[in-house]
């Protein structure tokens, strides 16, 4: 018989235990029907199995005091591979009661289960085999296919809701022992589980029916509320419809009344229009005459505007010419300044050359003095020699040959001295000539500089004159602008006068219409006076009520008497007023005969 690999047997056993624990946990949680807590036995067994699976094939790490073998290292690696795991890793590190790495690993497993992301975290971990090889042996469960199978089984735990309290629990000292008795089943337990399943199904149906009934009751109450609101809105709409019908009937009656009044007003206005046509024609003739005078004034103002515009255009053209001349003058000034700077540079160069010539002359003069001193010394030597020759003529007879040689040497020295003198004289004369030429050039340059200064002075004077002309032109342009502003003001005044004239024309038209109406009313009053002559006024005691409104007279309702028909009205009924040209205020008119009413103070005085 072939001997099996013990690590493979261990992996198979751990895989089977993981399957049983996950299956039992899911079935018991579904039958339990509530959120699981940390005291639930299948859940505790699941964590023990997971701890054994993660510990399988774990490498032993040496520490300072002892050997260390913990699963916290690979679990701590998850936060680097899966960024969402940083939160639970930080929470585990911050828990105050945890002291060992194993306790932190157990807390990490519980938090991952509550987040329902344990399968995702471990899947990211088993994919990175090269990183896991630092913590696990090559034959470990997490390095083989069994690890991927366990990660797939862990996905089913996402249907479970777990509420675990990690903060107060002692996770460091728990003993991880698998209880196999949980997974051994009997016939009684199988029958009891079937009954529990049936009872859970019935309870689920009952809960469903109750929830459905609750929802139906809520929908019925909402429908009743909607029916009540619709009934209220229907009654309100019926009332509003009745009010609208009443308003329509009233508006139709008012429309009929307004139409009848409109026909009467049209008849009156047509009559008044026929009468006022003659007055309007006369006023139109006067308006035409005044309009002709205004047109003449307008043409005159327009002609002046054209002249002012032409004058302004001429001034602007002159200003442009002056500006161009100013630019040319500025350009000429810049060129002159440039030329002056160049001449100043040449003058400075000539002065430097003159200083060099003077230095050369000084050096030559010093050399000439040195040569003259040498000549003087030689003359002194010669005089001394002559003295000596005169003194020792007797003794020198023997040395005549030497003397002749000395004389020849003296002659040669004198010739050389004369040559040197002649060279020095020639050089001094040439230097004198150059010096005189340089002085002449200096004088010429000074005269040129004086001419340039005079020319610049004349140009500055011309520029000052041009500036004055430009300032004068600016003042003239400012005057033109002021004239333009005055012209605009005159135009505004002209517009205002036109508007006033139009208002006056409209007022004249209104006065003409009112005068024509007043003339017609006066003629009607005269005709009524002629028709009603001979009638007698009522006595004050007899007139106790108004003729129109039939109300009794009082202090607020004063009596107004018609001088033609003799009728008496109150001040409320006699509202018809007529403007007269002779009186500042309008007068009240009788409603029957259109005669002027007067207020009665007593029975005798009208």
- Cα separation of 447 and 432, whole Å? 22
Contact partners, residue 43, CB within 8 Å, separation at least 6: 25, 36, 162
Asked if pLDDT for residue 306 goes beyond 60, the answer is: yes
Q: What is the pTM for the complete model shown? A: 0.35
Q: Specify the residue for token string 């940390």.
A: 38
Query: Exposed (0-12), middle (13-18) or buried (19+): which is 102, by Cβ within 10 Å?
Result: buried
Taking the C-alpha atoms of residue 284 and residue 107, their distance in angstroms, rounded to an integer, is 110
CA neighbor of 154 nearest in space, from 182, 183, 112: 112
Q: Are 567 and 595 in contact (CB under 8 A)?
A: no
Partnered with residue 570 across adjacent β-strands are 559
430's tokens: 């040439």
**What local confidence, expressed as pLDDT, does residue 149 receive?**
92
Q: What is the pLDDT of residues 278-295, one digit of tens each?
A: 777 887 888 788 888 888
Residue 63 has pLDDT above 60, yes or no: no
What one-character DSSP code corresponds to residue 601? S
Instruction: Give CA–CA dist 295/305, Å, rounded.
Output: 15
* Domains in the chain: ranges and CATH: 6-183 (1.20.58.900), 545-600 (3.30.40.10)
Query: What pLDDT score does 463 carry?
Result: 85
Has residue 159 got a pLDDT over 60?
A: yes
The pair of three-digit structure tokens given for residue 605, joined into one six-digit string: 């005085």
User: If pLDDT is split at 50, 70 and 90, which confidence band does 604 have?
Assistant: very low
Residue with tokens 């399988």: 56
CA distance 329 to 460: 10
Q: Which of 94, 92, 117, 113 is nearest to 40 (CA)?
A: 113
pLDDT of residue 594: 56
Provide the 10 A C-beta neighbour count for residue 145.
11
Packing angle of the helix pair 101-115, 41-55 (nearest 10 deg): 120
Q: Which helix (H) or strand (E) holds 562?
A: strand 559-562
Instruction: Kindly report, residue by residue over 385-413, the tens digit of the pLDDT.
Output: 778 767 766 776 776 787 777 678 878 87
Burial class of residue 305, CB neighbours in 10 A (0-12, 13-18, 19+):
middle
Residue 605: strand, helix, or coil: coil
């Amino acid at each position: 018989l072939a001997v099996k690999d013990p690590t493979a047997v261990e992996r198979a056993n751990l895989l089977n235990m993981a399957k049983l624990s996950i299956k039992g946990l899911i079935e018991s949680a579904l039958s339990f029907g509530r959120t699981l807590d940390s005291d639930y036995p299948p859940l505790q067994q699941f964590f023990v199995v997971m701890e054994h699976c993660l510990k399988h094939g774990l490498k032993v790490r040496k520490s300072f005091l002892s050997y260390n073998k913990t699963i916290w290292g690979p679990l701590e690696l998850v936060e680097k591979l899966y960024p969402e795991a940083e939160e639970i890793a930080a929470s585990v590190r911050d828990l105050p009661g945890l002291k060992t790495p194993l306790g932190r690993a157990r807390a990490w497993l519980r938090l991952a289960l509550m987040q329902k992301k344990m399968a995702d975290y471990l899947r990211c971990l088993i994919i990175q085999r090269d990183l896991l090889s630092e913590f696990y042996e090559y034959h470990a469960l997490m390095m083989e296919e069994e690890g991927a199978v366990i990660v797939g089984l862990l996905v089913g735990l996402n249907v479970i809701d777990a509420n675990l309290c990690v903060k107060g629990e002692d996770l460091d000292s728990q003993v991880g022992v698998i209880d196999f008795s949980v997974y051994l089943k009997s016939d009684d337990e199988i029958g009891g589980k079937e009954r529990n399943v049936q009872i859970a199904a019935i309870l689920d149906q009952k809960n469903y029916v109750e929830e459905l009934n609750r929802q139906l009751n809520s929908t019925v109450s909402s429908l009743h509320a909607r029916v009540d609101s619709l009934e209220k809105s229907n009654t309100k709409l019926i009332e509003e419809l009745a009010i609208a019908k009443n308003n329509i009937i009233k508006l139709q009656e008012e429309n009929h009344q307004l139409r009848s009044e409109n026909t009467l007003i049209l008849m009156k206005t047509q009559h008044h229009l026929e009468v006022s046509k003659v007055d309007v024609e006369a006023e139109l003739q006067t308006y035409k005459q005044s309009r002709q005078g205004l047109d003449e004034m307008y043409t005159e103002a327009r002609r002046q505007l054209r002249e002012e515009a032409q004058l302004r255009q001429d001034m602007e053209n002159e200003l442009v010419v002056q500006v161009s001349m100013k630019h040319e003058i500025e350009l000429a000034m810049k060129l002159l300044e440039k030329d002056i700077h160049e001449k100043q540079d040449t003058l400075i160069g000539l002065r430097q050359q003159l200083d060099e010539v003077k230095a050369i002359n000084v050096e030559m003069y010093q050399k000439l003095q040195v040569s003259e001193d040498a000549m003087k010394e030689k003359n002194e030597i010669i005089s001394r020699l002559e003295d000596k020759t005169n003194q020792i003529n007797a003794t020198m007879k023997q040395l005549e040959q030497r003397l002749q040689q000395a004389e020849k040497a003296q002659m040669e020295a004198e010739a050389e001295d004369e040559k040197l003198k002649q060279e020095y004289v020639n050089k001094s004369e040439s230097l004198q000539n150059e010096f005189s030429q340089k002085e002449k050039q200096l004088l010429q340059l000074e005269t040129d500089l004086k001419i340039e200064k005079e020319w610049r002075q004349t140009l500055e004077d011309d520029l000052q004159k041009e500036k004055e002309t430009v300032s004068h032109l600016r003042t003239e342009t400012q005057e033109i602008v002021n004239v333009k502003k005055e012209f605009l003001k005159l135009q505004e005044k002209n517009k205002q006068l036109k508007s006033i004239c139009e208002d006056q024309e409209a007022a004249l038209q209104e006065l003409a219409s009112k005068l024509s109406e007043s003339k017609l009313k006066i003629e009607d009053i005269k005709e009524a006076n002629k028709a009603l002559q001979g009638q007698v006024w009522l006595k004050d005691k007899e007139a106790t009520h108004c003729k129109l409104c039939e109300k009794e007279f009082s202090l607020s309702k004063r009596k107004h008497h018609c001088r033609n028909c003799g009728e008496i009205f109150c001040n409320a009924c006699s509202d018809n007023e007529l403007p007269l040209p002779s009186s500042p205020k309008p007068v009240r008119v009788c409603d029957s005969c259109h005669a002027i009413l007067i207020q009665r103070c007593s029975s005798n005085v009208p």
